[in-house]
């Protein structure tokens, strides 16, 4: 079973949250980079909802640390390709 219902929740520095589909976030991310306080990828796999924090101003992880952490998680729980190339790009843009 593949992952489904993918939504990106983007919180700005004032605490406002907007939800984006991948296509919409891809089109807007470069214009909102300075406004982003956190991004979470919300998705469903095996009828369970999962949330992955791709970026948060509360943490000081490098992009590589985020990516290595998520790649180490078991795919049978989170889905075969729960960390997409797009996710890695988002992580790289925001965690440096």
pLDDT of residue 1: 64
Beta-carbon-side half-sphere exposure of residue 17 (alpha carbons within 13 Å): 8
How confident is the model over 30-82, as pLDDT tens digits?
999 999 999 999 999 989 999 999 999 998 888 999 999 999 988 888 888 88
Break the chain into its structural domains and give their ranges: 4-94
Query: What are phi and psi for residue 91, nearest 5 degrees?
Result: -55, -45
Q: Model-level pTM?
A: 0.89
**CA-wise closest residue to 96 among 52, 66, 73:** 66
pLDDT of residue 49: 94
């Amino acid at each position: 079973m593949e992952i489904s219902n993918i939504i990106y929740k983007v919180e700005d520095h004032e605490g406002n949250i907007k939800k984006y589909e991948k296509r919409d976030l891809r089109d807007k991310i470069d214009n909102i980079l300075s406004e982003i306080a956190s991004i979470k990828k919300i998705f469903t796999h095996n009828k369970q909802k999962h949330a992955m924090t791709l970026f948060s101003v509360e943490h000081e992880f490098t992009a590589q640390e985020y990516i290595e952490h998520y790649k180490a998680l078991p795919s049978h729980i989170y889905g075969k390709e729960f960390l997409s190339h797009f996710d890695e790009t988002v992580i790289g843009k925001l965690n440096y």
